[in-house]
Each structure stands twice: as C-alpha cells, then as structure tokens.
Structure 1
Amino acid sequence: MTSATQAMPQRAVFPFTAIVGQEEMKLALLLNVIDPKIGGVMIMGDRGTGKTTTIRALADLLPEIEVVADDPFGSSPTDPDLMSDDVRRRLSAGETLPVSHRKVIMVDLPLGATEDRVCGTIDIEKALSEGVKAFEPGLLAKANRGILYVDEVNLLDDHLVDVLLDSAASGWNTVEREGISIRHPARFVLVGSGNPEEGELRPQLLDRFGMHAEIRTVKDPSLRVDIVEQRSEFDQNPKAFLAKHQAQQDALQKQIADAQARLSSVTIDRELKVKISQVCAELDVDGLRGDIVTNRASKAIAAFEGRTEVTEQDIRRVIGLCLRHRLRKDPLESIDSGYKVDKVFGQVFGLSEEAIQNGAAVAR
C-alpha cells in the first residue's frame, strides 16, 4: 500500500464476509470479479435487501491493482490488453512508466446521467485551434478495471443501457464527434439492479447481462434479527466491527486473487460442454450467449474453489444464474424460470426427480 493511500482517510465500508444471506447475489458478484468476461450481473429483487451495501463491500474487499500513475484510465503497466493507446505508445518508445497502486474503484451511475457524462466529451474548439485531441474522460473511463453499478437500471434510458453493454462486452469506449475519434479501455464489471415492480428490462438488453440474480426479503425472523444486529453493531463501532471480520476478509481476498491467477488453467470436459449446450437447446435459448456464459461461470467457480477441472456440480450451481433470464416468457405460465432450468438440467444430466426437486429448493 502506498503512503498516499495510507494518508487518505477512508469511510468505513460494511465487510463483505459479514453480509448475512443473499448467497445467490454474492456468488454471482464473486464469479464476475474472478472473470469479468462473464458479462456482468443483473440483480432483481425487493427494495432494502442490501444490494448497494453488498456491491460496495465487494469493491472494498478486492486486492489493490497496479496502475500507470499519470494515466486517466488507470491502465495496467504490464498487461497490453489493459493499456490505453497512449500508454502503449509510451511503452514502445522505451519510456519508463510511473507506477502506483490503488483500490478497485466502484462507480455509481446516476439515473439522470447524460451520454456525454457517461462516455466523455471532446473539446472541438481546442482540437481545431491547438491541433490536439482534447478529451474529457467520462464515467466509463473512471470505471475502467473497476465496478460500474447502475441502480434501477430498468429505469435508465435504453440508449444508455446499450452504450454500457457495448463497452462492457468490447472492453473499449469510442467517442466520435465532428470527424475526431478517441477510444480508451473500458473494462469493468457491470452490475445492474432493479425492482421488478418498477418495470422489466427489454429482453434483448437483459440477455446481454451475463448472469441474473434474484433476491428476496428474508422471511426467517431469527435471520432478520441477525441482520439488524450486525448492522447496529457496525453503525455503533465500525472500527471494532471491521477488526472482528478482518481475518475472514483477508482470507476471501486471497481466495479471489488465487482464483484469478488459476482461471487460465481451468479446463472443462467436452462431454460437459455438450450437455450445457443440450440444456440451452432444450430450453430454446436464443443465440449462444447462454452456452458461453455458463462455460465461463463454471470455470470461475472451479477456480474459486481451488480446482482446475470443472465438475457437474459446478455447472449445476451456476446454470440457473446464467440462463433463467434468457428464457422466452409466456405470460400465462406460472412456473418459475429457475425451476425450469433445474428441471431440464436434471433431465440432461440424468438426475432423479427427487434430486431435481432438492436442487430447486436449495437454489430458492
């Protein structure tokens, strides 16, 4: 940790390991951090269920990253895929880059944000008078190599959602104006949240989120009391509460870092890949995003648990998160989409009816 980081007072953030319940949301977020190419998470559920708290806690938990100190996009000094064009030029010219460390940034996208605020703007006057590309970076530049969180994403303008999803998928943001074009890296974990009562996201946009986590208000009175007590204890004495959970936080941080390093060596048997695609085909999932995301998520969970080979159980734990939002919805059908995924998974993988029922109950 740099002296600058130590000198800066930081607001206490509720620790990720102290969050009670909402296992589905926590798993989806962790897997996207291990492999951002999964494509982000859409979290739909009741108000006041800790969505924002959990996402802030995850960003605070993550290990510090190495950045080029004077680069506005937080480029990596070693990985060419995470460098801006300017940093690449400087590196190829033999320049020694100033390096620093920083926390992973979480950027909150306000609902009223304009496209210029999100993507950045080009100062045409300066470009014409001085002959330089004067670019004012936006929120996508700030979110590079971090987490971009959009609360109430179902209320966001569809055009802006398209822009976010395009950048998240390609890893680059391009701004074009009056014949001037500037691009910069924009690799981030996109997390959207919303309440279904306030409107659904268009299916073609929903499909582009890698995973879909459903969260519900905890009904068990004992668990509700645990959550209230945890929050009260944190609010009364954040330092003591953080100290109590520090060992767990450190262990999880190391587990995430190890999983990120292990991910490239994780393999999945071809027979399992064929079965994943069979599940997608039988559920009549459009396109191949479902197949690709399920394969990626299965590898990420294996890496997270310290293994280099994907098992059937790994696939079972993530397939509902990866496919439930891609199913065609029949307004007259009352069957839960998560249960439909479990049922077809059980049939393709040869599970008994009892095992399917048990798996669906655990998932819920």
Structure 2
Amino acid sequence: MTQPFPFSAIVGQEEMKQAMILTAIDPGIGGVLVFGDRGTGKSTAVRALAALLPPIKVVAGCPVNSPSLDRCPDWAHVGQHDIVERPTPVVDLPLGVTEDRVVGALDIEKALSSGEKAFEPGLLARANRGYLYIDEVNLLEDHIVDLLLDVAQSGENVVEREGLSIRHPARFVLVGSGNPEEGELRPQLLDRFGLSVEVASPKDIDTRIEVIRRRDAYEMDYDGFMGKWRQEDAELRDRILAARAHLNTLKTSDAVLRDCAELCLALGSDGLRGELTLLKTSRAVAAFEGAEEVTRDHVRKIASSALRHRLRRDPLDEAGSTTRVTRVVEEVLA
C-alpha cells in the first residue's frame, strides 16, 4: 500500500512543520490552523505527520479507538478483548457534511431490519486519539462549527436524539486549512486553535525546482524515494517520542511565566488562553530541543504561531498580525 509523502521530505514551510511537530509532542496545545495558498502542502503535511507517528494500541473492533476494554463505551458491544495496533487516524471533515455524519446517529438499517435501536458512530468517533482535518475551514457551516466548539471544550461527544443517549470520548488534534481571501473564520473557532501559521508558495526558483524534483521522484520511483527518506522520518519520530517523555521533567521559571503574560497583555489578547498556549508550546519546543528548562528564547521562537490569531483588530495599525507580534516580542523580550 502506498504510504503518504514523507514528512521529512517536505521542502520549506518550516513554521508549518514545526507547529505540526509540537502538537504531536503535546496534543493539549490545541491544534493548528494553516492559512495560505493552495498547493502549498497543507494536507500533505498532516497526513505525513500522522504516518510518521508510531501506531496507537486499540481494542479490536472498538469504534472510538479505546486503548483498553474498560474504556470502550457500552453501546459499542465489543465482542473481543484483543489489543491491536492501528495507524494514527486522520479523518477528513468535508464541507457540506451533515450533523448526523459528524456526531453519529441512529443506525437506520438495524432499526428497519431488526427493530434494534443502535448507534452508528460518526466522524468524531473515528478521529478520537488522532487528527481531524478540515480543508477550507473558514467555509464550514455555522451549526457544524458550534458542534466542534462543544466537543473541543469537553473532549466528549454527546448525542441526545431519536431516543438515543450516547456519550463517547472525542479527543483529537484539530487541523484546519483555508485561504483567507475566501472568508474569515468565526472568532469562537479561531480561538480554539492553539497555533496559527501562514504558508505561501516558494518565491525562489531553486526551492520550486526541489519541490518538483521530490514529488516527481515520489511518484516515479516510490520504493527508492521512500527508502531514502524513511530513516529521516524514523529519527524525527524518535525525537518526538523523546520530547513527549521529557515534557514533565522540564523546569519553568516564574520569569518565563511573566514573559508569557507580558506578551499577551501588550498584544491585547482576550482571556488567558494565549498565555496558556504560549507556555505549553514553549515547553514543547524546549522538550524537542532536549533543553533542561524553558527559556525566553523558546518563548520567542513560537510567539508568532501562538499569538498572531489572537490579536484584536487595530484600525490605526495597517501592519499584518505577524509583523505586530514580532514587533511586540522585540519590545517586551528585548
């Protein structure tokens, strides 16, 4: 079976790749929003990262990828206890999707054939412990956005309809992509993304040639290309796993907490989610680098990704959000 394009072989887009890696280290960061041109590797990156990560252990036949039998929901009626390995799930949530398809609904076939009132899981069940990917997320219908906000807040999908009362875990890394020229994202959903990155088509000829060369090699000599990059992906996987294990051992000083708070205050970000995300992301950067403690440099490296989508609009400042964050970072963390 053909595997996704290797993550390590993606040319450029360093900020996007960094954001993907950090959410793999700590899913609690809250997902990644990628805005930019079409054809810049957004969907390729999320599928490549999921394929790079180690498989997850699940109960065979469990529709929500439970790691043990005691965590399988009662309605699933899992008949076997075997623990198997599955690739980290990546589930696409298409535009125009119905509410029933997202959250699940009554299994009509069983209801008609046997009169049994059974639950047919939706996309949120399949995405549990994996990635939920939404292309053109800024064009998503409002009622689906509301559903995602509820689940993102609680980590649980609740279905109360048609005589059903169903609950199941729905914890996933939300990855959204879109083109800002086609519409803005609702502020409530925008705030749920931990990181936001901007991507663009490469401007220099050598980079564009390298993109073409690698993609052509992937399609024309798949075995040779994958053999070349498999080792690099394996090394990156080991670094991610090591960073996960290192997260809880990192020291975080009050000075770093003050840096996070002063940055968000200077930028005028609403609430405290900016500070918390900035702290978690800085810690993930430090863990990935193998540092012993989180420093101001780690905060500086990730500030734009963590804060650019949390800024209030300033009609007197025509600078883009990235420029504004960079400017404030230099002032506060000088």
TM-score, normalising length: structure 1: 0.85
Q: Give 1:52's aligned amino acid.
A: S
User: 2:64 touches 2:169 (CA, 8 Å); kept in 1?
Assistant: yes
Unaligned residue ranges in structure 2 (runs of 5+):
none
- Paired residues, what number? 334
Q: Distance in 2 between matches of 1:87 and 1:275?
A: 47
Q: Give 2:224's aligned amino acid.
A: A
2:160 aligned with 1:169: no
User: 1:286 touches 1:326 (CA, 8 Å); kept in 2?
Assistant: yes
Aligned equivalent of 1:4:
none
User: 2:92 touches 2:134 (CA, 8 Å); kept in 1?
Assistant: yes
Q: Distance in 2 between matches of 1:69 and 1:178?
A: 28
| Corresponding residue to 1:152 among 111, 132, 136 | 136
User: 2:138 touches 2:183 (CA, 8 Å); kept in 1?
Assistant: yes
Aligned equivalent of 1:309:
293
Q: Distance in 1 between matches of 2:32 and 2:236?
A: 20
User: Map of 1:248-263 to 2, 5 A cutoff?
Assistant: 248-263=232-247
Deviation of 1:99 after TM superposition, in Å, equals 0.5
2:288 aligned with 1:296: no
Aligned equivalent of 1:7:
none
Q: Distance in 2 between matches of 1:334 and 1:223?
A: 30
Deviation of 1:60 after TM superposition, in Å, equals 1.0
User: 2:10 touches 2:45 (CA, 8 Å); kept in 1?
Assistant: yes
DSSP 3-state at the match of 2:265:
helix
Q: Give 2:23's aligned amino acid.
A: N
Q: Distance in 2 between matches of 1:271 and 1:131?
A: 63
Q: CA RMSD in A?
A: 2.5
Q: Deviations over 1:194-233 (max 9, x none)?
A: 0011111122321121110100111011111111111111
Q: Distance in 1 between matches of 2:256 and 2:75?
A: 41
Q: Distance in 2 between matches of 1:212 and 1:344?
A: 17
Aligned equivalent of 2:168:
184
Aligned equivalent of 1:77:
68
Deviation of 1:304 after TM superposition, in Å, equals 1.4
Deviation of 1:26 after TM superposition, in Å, equals 0.6
CA 1:308/1:70 → structure 2, altered by over 3 Å: closer, same or farther?
A: farther
Q: Distance in 2 between matches of 1:125 and 1:45?
A: 42
User: 2:151 touches 2:170 (CA, 8 Å); kept in 1?
Assistant: yes
The alignment-based identity, stated in percent, is 52
| Corresponding residue to 1:107 among 88, 91, 95 | 91
Aligned equivalent of 1:362:
none
CA 1:326/1:77 → structure 2, altered by over 3 Å: closer, same or farther?
A: same
Q: Distance in 2 between matches of 1:12 and 1:209?
A: 28
Q: Distance in 2 between matches of 1:229 and 1:123?
A: 48
User: 2:286 touches 2:294 (CA, 8 Å); kept in 1?
Assistant: yes
Aligned equivalent of 1:269:
253
Q: Distance in 2 between matches of 1:202 and 1:179?
A: 32
Q: Give 2:54's aligned amino acid.
A: P
User: Map of 1:7-156 to 2, 5 A cutoff?
Assistant: 10-77=1-68, 83-86=71-74, 97-123=81-107, 134-156=118-140
Deviation of 1:135 after TM superposition, in Å, equals 1.0
User: 1:167 touches 1:186 (CA, 8 Å); kept in 2?
Assistant: yes
| Corresponding residue to 2:266 among 279, 282, 298 | 282
Q: Distance in 1 between matches of 2:43 and 2:61?
A: 30
CA 1:290/1:33 → structure 2, altered by over 3 Å: closer, same or farther?
A: same
Q: Distance in 2 between matches of 1:131 and 1:274?
A: 61
Q: Distance in 1 between matches of 2:93 and 2:34?
A: 15
Q: Distance in 2 between matches of 1:109 and 1:87?
A: 24
Deviation of 1:122 after TM superposition, in Å, equals 2.9
Q: Give 1:36's aligned amino acid.
A: P
CA 1:88/1:122 → structure 2, altered by over 3 Å: closer, same or farther?
A: closer
Q: Distance in 2 between matches of 1:124 and 1:14?
A: 38
Deviation of 1:69 after TM superposition, in Å, equals 1.2
User: 1:173 touches 1:185 (CA, 8 Å); kept in 2?
Assistant: yes
Q: Deviations over 1:149-180 (max 9, x none)?
A: 00000111022122223323322111111453
Which moves more between the two structures, 228-237 or 169-178?
169-178
Aligned equivalent of 1:193:
177
Deviation of 1:74 after TM superposition, in Å, equals 0.6
DSSP 3-state at the match of 1:182:
strand
Aligned equivalent of 1:355:
none
Q: Deviations over 1:50-106 (max 9, x none)?
A: 11111111111111111111211111129x8xx34439999xxxx993201111011
Aligned equivalent of 1:238:
222
Q: Distance in 2 between matches of 1:257 and 1:22?
A: 22
